[in-house]
Structure 1
Amino acid sequence: MLSAPLISRLFKRLPDIAGKRPKPVLLCAIGDVHGEAERLARLHEILFDRHARYFPDHQLKIIHLGDYVDRGPDSAGVVDLCIRLQARRDVETVFLRGNHEDMLVKAQSSGSSRHHAAWLMNGGEATLSSYSKGVIPRSHLEWMGALPLIHIEASARMIFVHAGIDPRTFPNESENTYLWTRSDTFFDVSNWNNRALQGWTIVHGHTPTRNFYPEKVAGDAKRINIDTGAAFGGRLTAALFAEGQPVSFYYS
């Protein structure tokens, strides 16, 4: 997890960080997957195609916002797909932790019946069913347990997080906020009086949009929600950010 002092230093060092980019970066963010392995594979293909066709001089960077597991049919396949993508050399990747990975790891490692019951109630049974004999391999548990909570692209003035932040206290946040928040204080950008957020865009998931299309909210700061309900009859969404161009969305 990034500490508050480190996040603050990232904000202050914006010009230095921006100057170190050897070439422009094509940022792509993917919302909540929830076991939809086939959809995720198709979305990866779409992003690689768009990169090759329209942005060949850019470095491709794909940021996943968490919730790879639970509810859908193939959580095991999703984690395998992510680990394989992470090993590729032709793309930079970031995989953030979602509340479902957090619940899974706690259920599997703590020995707490309360944690186990909470996970099963939130789609954990589907995850177990996707693994041979219902056993999640250690490599998958370790991968999920090591995922960061937040990612900052300082040169693009963008923050990526699973659920959101508290605009009153950022960057002094709790893990619970990054993983679980659905606070009106975050969703209504008119509440964002924190000067550190002015001119920044926050990309998040966690809360399915009402119409299964991405939600864009603008103000002094911007909020983009790309959880478009893949686990609830909606779609899996990727947002593509290229400097000087409006955000574009792709679906699977």
Structure 2
Amino acid sequence: MPGPIYFAIGDVHGEANKLRQLHAAILDRIAFEGVSAKIIHLGDYVDRGPDSRGVIDQIMALEQRCEGDPAIEIISLMGNHEQMMLDAYDSAGTADGGMWWAQGGAETAHSYGAREANWRDAVPKEHVSWMRRLPGILRDEQRKLVFVHAGIEPATFPQDDQRIWLWTRAERFFQQWQWPERDELKGLMVVHGHTPRSFDPEVYPHRINVDTGAVFGGPLTAVMLKEGKRPEFLRAD
């Protein structure tokens, strides 16, 4: 029996309309395929774009909708922008709040109808709790798949930590020739976002980058991974 189809969605950054279109396309494709599926959001739902609140509302609604469906599982991972937002939320009056605000947090606060002084009061507690529960990584050890926001540390994986998973842009991750000869890395495929490239996803033997700059005018992209098949891509412009 074939394993589930994976759909991994890149950085959304408040682009709620694109996410709505992409979710619809993915659900249509799942119905067409007629097999079980896992929809993975790779993080960075908030900041920069126009409707961060709408993005979180959509994802939470999809999770609730699919909760009783044995054929569809929704997994949402932590991105560095969610971590920055939580750090700011927990650090009233400190530099953490200012850093997040400058990195797109202002747009997120505005999506909740708030300004800088009162934004914490405007964010629903269920949104904060949801973000706190987001895992940093998902692994399918049988299929040698890793889903993570930014990447891994090849020298120490799987003993690397969440800061790497959320933030890395190291060439030693991007360039496979820099990967050490380790059993843990043989045949590994890392699916990630975090580093926007062109309007097209990056596909290499060891990694797939689906951050196609949705908030910068590019499409929102998902990769479809079907066992024994080449990657396919869905997008919302």
Count of matched residue positions in the alignment of Structure 1 and Structure 2: 225
Give the share of equivalent positions with the same residue, in percent. 45
2:144 corresponds to which residue? 157
Are positions 1:39 and 2:18 aligned together? yes
Secondary structure at the aligned position of 1:44 is classed as helix
TM-superposed CA distance for 1:157, in Å, is 1.4
Kept in 2, the 8 Å contact 1:23–1:59? The answer is no
Return closer, same or farther for 1:112/1:97 CA change in 2, 3 Å cut-off: farther
Secondary structure at the aligned position of 1:101 is classed as helix
CA distance in 2, matches of 1:102, 1:32: 14
In structure 1, stretches of 5+ residues that fail to align are 1-21
Output aligned runs, 1:184-223, within 5 Å: 184-193=171-180, 194-209=182-197, 211-218=198-205, 222-223=206-207
Return closer, same or farther for 1:112/1:174 CA change in 2, 3 Å cut-off: farther
Q: Which runs of structure 1 show a deviation greater than 4 angstroms over 4 or more consecutive aligned residues?
A: none
The one-letter code sitting in structure 1 at the alignment partner of 2:110 is S
TM-score (norm 2): 0.92
RMSD: 1.2
Output aligned runs, 1:1-252, within 5 Å: 24-53=3-32, 55-56=33-34, 58-87=35-64, 88=66, 89-90=68-69, 91-133=72-114, 134=119, 135-193=122-180, 194-209=182-197, 211-218=198-205, 222-252=206-236
The one-letter code sitting in structure 2 at the alignment partner of 1:117 is G
TM-superposed CA distance for 1:234, in Å, is 1.0
Kept in 2, the 8 Å contact 1:34–1:231? The answer is yes
TM-superposed CA distance for 1:42, in Å, is 0.6
CA distance in 1, matches of 2:5, 2:207: 19
CA distance in 2, matches of 1:63, 1:231: 19
CA distance in 2, matches of 1:157, 1:199: 6
The more displaced of 118-127 and 85-94 is 85-94
The one-letter code sitting in structure 1 at the alignment partner of 2:161 is S
CA distance in 2, matches of 1:62, 1:153: 14
The one-letter code sitting in structure 1 at the alignment partner of 2:49 is G
CA distance in 2, matches of 1:112, 1:205: 31
TM-superposed CA distance for 1:23, in Å, is 5.7
The one-letter code sitting in structure 2 at the alignment partner of 1:197 is L
The one-letter code sitting in structure 2 at the alignment partner of 1:240 is M
TM-superposed CA distance for 1:71, in Å, is 0.4
The one-letter code sitting in structure 1 at the alignment partner of 2:232 is S
Kept in 1, the 8 Å contact 2:11–2:211? The answer is yes
The more displaced of 83-92 and 177-186 is 83-92
Kept in 1, the 8 Å contact 2:49–2:215? The answer is yes
Q: Deviations over 1:135-172 (max 9, x none)?
A: 11111011111100000012321000000011011112
TM-superposed CA distance for 1:113, in Å, is 1.7
TM-superposed CA distance for 1:112, in Å, is 4.8
Kept in 1, the 8 Å contact 2:2–2:227? The answer is no
